[in-house]
Structure 1
Amino acid sequence: MSLESLFLDALQKSLKPALGCTEPLTVALASAWARYYSCGELKSMDVKVSANLYKNAAGVFVPGTGMTGLGIAAAAGWWGGDPRQGLQVLSTLDEKALVAAKQSLSSQTLKVSYCDHPDVFYTHISAQTDSESICVLMGHCHDGLMQVQVNGDVCYEQSTEKPFASSSEQLDKKWSVAEIVRFIEQVDLKKLAFIEQSATLNVALSELGERDSMGLAIGAQLRQQQRRGYISDDLSTEAMILSASASDARMAGAPLAAMSNSGSGNQGIAATLPVVAVAKRLQSSKEQRLRALAMSHLLAIYIKKLQSPLSALCAATTAAMGAGAAINWLLGGDIQQVEQTIRYMIGDISGIYCDGAKPGCALKVSTGAQAAVKAALLALGGRAPLSDGVLERSVDESLKHLGELTLSALIPTDQAIIGWIAARQN
């Protein structure tokens, strides 16, 4: 596969519209598939997921329900989801279905539990109706349907290729920050046209979040303080407000889809909106803006490929490294300065942990946006961070170190966080 084909394929596979947080959507999708293959009245349902998926679903609002957690996600998927819509499975949820879903939570036996499993996307649903038993297995990615059994007979089975590398050694050696920048600068612009949808979807989400002060209203509050004159009207603030507002809306269960990156809406937001904010302020051309968006998304994909798909490292902040690099490029940075932007960000915000999907994610998204602008500007000055700590002289080696933390050192941190979240659910 040519380098151009490799990168375009990665962009097309990793950018997907998603209505709501993708971890509860996985459970809603599995439940909707169970309903799709059944014909009876639901009597009971048992939901079992990986510990990481549980962590990222327990505290986030499920679109259209006003409720949090995997229980309502499973119930909404069964009563009102359309599995053929993929990560927009709950776009068909209506009031009648919602009433039935909420009733099932109180009247039906619906159990949710988690387990240690090598596949962080592991989701197993066992449903019993008045006429059959249905088992649905999902894995490898958020929308990866692997097997469906009805009364013990396999009626669907699919081996799904993993979309993420589990370690840096498994990543194609063609990937590097420099190669991505060269690709973005040279590729036919028409081949990147589909990237524009990321801006369309995520800007709409941001506008809704700010207008309606959704979730923690981080974006709306920052805008209010800006109008009072307490914070300035500059690149950094605008990047924070646009990004935080979109995350506010998404984590509050907004009825609009985000363009996700590598399976995460917040990663998609973090890779999109800081670039949109800066491009607007700089009055960048449509071509510059589109290439910068593609660069940000592709770098975010590369950085995530070096990490565990779900871990104790906040991937929204590492996705923002792609935005920082693209902002530096919009400001006239060359390949070396783009690389130094990422190194600055690794040295700045690489220690932010993921403690589950929740409204507070908007805080971390805003931090990533602010750091992206700061690093982009610092890199223009020509100085480079020293090679120490997690940083190597090579930006690619530095990113590998960051990924290695998620595969080993941060596992005990992840386990501690999952334990705290589980204790609050009981």
Structure 2
Amino acid sequence: MRFTVKDILEMEVTLALGCTEPVAIALGAAAAATLLPEREFDSIEIWIDPNIYKNAMAVTIPGTGGLQGLDTAAALGAYGGDPKRDLEVLESVDEVIIAKAQQLLAAKKVKVNLREEVGLHVRTRIIAGTNSAESLIIDLHNNIVSLSLNGVQVTDSPLLASVKGKNGKRTLAELEEWLRELTLDEILELTNTLDEDDLNFLQIGVNHNLALAEYGLQHGSGLGIGKAIDRLIKQKLMVKDMSSSAKRLTSAAADARMGGVKLPAMSSAGSGNHGLTAILPIWAIKDFIDHDRQTVLRAIGLSHIVTAYVKAHTGRLSAVCGCSVAAGAGATAGITYLVGGDVHHMEGAIKNILEDLAGVICDGAKAGCAIKLNTAAGAAVQAALFSLHGVNVKDTDGIIGDSTRKTIQNMGELSHDGMVATDKTILKIMLEKQMTRENKQGK
């Protein structure tokens, strides 16, 4: 079983409008709604796994003027989402749809259920008159595995993963199984097979993520970290160098995206913020070194592959911040490649950043993610430059292994087995905060 770099890009790198957790909820609702003859709904009920719940609680939904919430995402998707647009399902949402969704929410006709079982899971049931439609998404944010109308399974919808896969395409699970067996040398060899079409696709990703960064820098969206870095550099309180440039661009894009700007991000391994981290630090440092377009884009391609490689070990969603450990590892590998490092330097850079950031938790998607992307971007530059100068974490240290593969395997074990209780505690704290806010508001 062998995949190509084109398979990786096709399956792991795609446009996503808004945080992919509320987007998955909206997609599930939009898919179920397409089965119903009526477009006025009596009720919507969703069943969500803990990680989707955690990541969709507090993040702003794009193009809604600041609206948040799992119930909001479901209502918006049902009334106006276009499921054929996949992770850009909310592109079609407008003021009319927002108003309808808010009416349904005000009438308390959207119910959210939190499942105890872990693993990406979004089940949606919509009732409209005498009809009931259901959808089920599992494993991946856009992996619709089941649709039914009035209890009867729908088997021929083009939205279904089984129908999409009838052309013989292999699954992401198969890709991840293959990725987990690769060495860093083999990953680097894949980068050499990128052709001009692949490079053009990678450039499209750069353009989309740069548009988010430029918006964040201009408007100070979200927390306004990118714009604050701009001011600090102008005030000579920070120096414009590779690290600050990477932080500035990456955090500005996260500011815009987490602030609900209606611009898509080129995602990586199922996450828009991963995509920002995998791409923008590399693009930011290109002006500090001699380079050509192909080398920069190949470095970004390498970053996507390494990001997918780490996520194949750690899982799609967990208590570990994937922007730090997965996309951060991808970015530092790409930066090392861009500045002329070899595979040994890349291995050292990945070990450096994982020793640095392995303990960063994921406490849900929200404006504050821009701080973590800021840290990951700077750490990616630092880890690469340290490795180039022979500063490498030793294999005897903590979770660091004697190879990139072993280090990532250890990271996966930490993510799956070591932080289950951490994840539950994070969600418990977030739910308690939410309940306190609702009580104060008299809900």
TM-score normalised by L of structure 2: 0.91
> Match for residue 15 of structure 1?
13
- Percentage identity across aligned positions? 33
Q: Which runs of 5+ in 2 are unaligned?
A: 163-169, 436-443
Q: Which runs of 5+ in 1 are unaligned?
A: none
Query: Cα–Cα, structure 1 residues 110 and 50, in superposed 2: closer, same or farther, change >3 Å?
Result: same
Deviation at 1:153, TM superposition (A): 1.3
Deviation at 1:373, TM superposition (A): 0.6
The answer as to whether partners of 1:195 and 1:293 remain within 8 angstroms in 2 is yes
**Counterpart check, 1:315 vs 2:322:** yes
The answer as to whether partners of 1:313 and 1:351 remain within 8 angstroms in 2 is yes
> Match for residue 86 of structure 2?
86
Code of the aligned partner of 1:414: D
Of residues 402, 415, 423, the one that matches 1:414 is 423
What secondary structure sits across from 1:306 in the alignment?
helix
Query: Cα–Cα, structure 1 residues 162 and 230, in superposed 2: closer, same or farther, change >3 Å?
Result: same
> Match for residue 339 of structure 1?
347
> Match for residue 380 of structure 2?
372
Q: Distance in 2 between matches of 1:141 and 1:183?
A: 24
Deviation at 1:192, TM superposition (A): 3.5
Deviation at 1:165, TM superposition (A): 7.5
Query: Cα–Cα, structure 1 residues 11 and 372, in superposed 2: closer, same or farther, change >3 Å?
Result: same
**Counterpart check, 1:185 vs 2:192:** yes
Code of the aligned partner of 1:139: I
Deviation at 1:48, TM superposition (A): 1.1
Code of the aligned partner of 1:412: A
> Match for residue 223 of structure 2?
216
Code of the aligned partner of 2:330: G
The answer as to whether partners of 1:140 and 1:162 remain within 8 angstroms in 2 is no
The answer as to whether partners of 2:199 and 2:294 remain within 8 angstroms in 1 is no
Q: Distance in 2 between matches of 1:48 and 1:188?
A: 42
What secondary structure sits across from 1:378 in the alignment?
helix
Deviation at 1:163, TM superposition (A): 2.4
Q: Distance in 2 between matches of 1:267 and 1:392?
A: 24
TM-score normalised by L of structure 1: 0.95
Deviation at 1:252, TM superposition (A): 1.1
**C-alpha deviations, 1:258-316, integer Å up to 9, x for none?**
00111100000000000000113325211111111101111111111111211000000
Code of the aligned partner of 2:223: L
Of residues 395, 409, 420, the one that matches 1:400 is 409
Query: Cα–Cα, structure 1 residues 153 and 269, in superposed 2: closer, same or farther, change >3 Å?
Result: same
What secondary structure sits across from 2:377 in the alignment?
helix
Q: Distance in 2 between matches of 1:155 and 1:171?
A: 32
Moved more, 155-164 or 332-341: 155-164
The answer as to whether partners of 1:325 and 1:341 remain within 8 angstroms in 2 is yes
Of residues 201, 205, 212, the one that matches 2:212 is 205
Of residues 241, 251, 256, the one that matches 2:258 is 251
Q: Distance in 2 between matches of 1:284 and 1:345?
A: 24
Code of the aligned partner of 2:405: D
What secondary structure sits across from 2:393 in the alignment?
coil
> Match for residue 126 of structure 2?
127
The answer as to whether partners of 1:235 and 1:277 remain within 8 angstroms in 2 is yes
What secondary structure sits across from 1:105 in the alignment?
helix
Q: Distance in 2 between matches of 1:104 and 1:283?
A: 56
The answer as to whether partners of 1:171 and 1:306 remain within 8 angstroms in 2 is no
Q: Distance in 2 between matches of 1:309 and 1:372?
A: 21
What secondary structure sits across from 1:99 in the alignment?
helix
> Aligned residues, how many?
421
Q: Distance in 2 between matches of 1:392 and 1:182?
A: 22
> Match for residue 117 of structure 1?
117
The answer as to whether partners of 1:88 and 1:257 remain within 8 angstroms in 2 is yes
The answer as to whether partners of 1:164 and 1:309 remain within 8 angstroms in 2 is no
Q: Distance in 2 between matches of 1:225 and 1:412?
A: 39
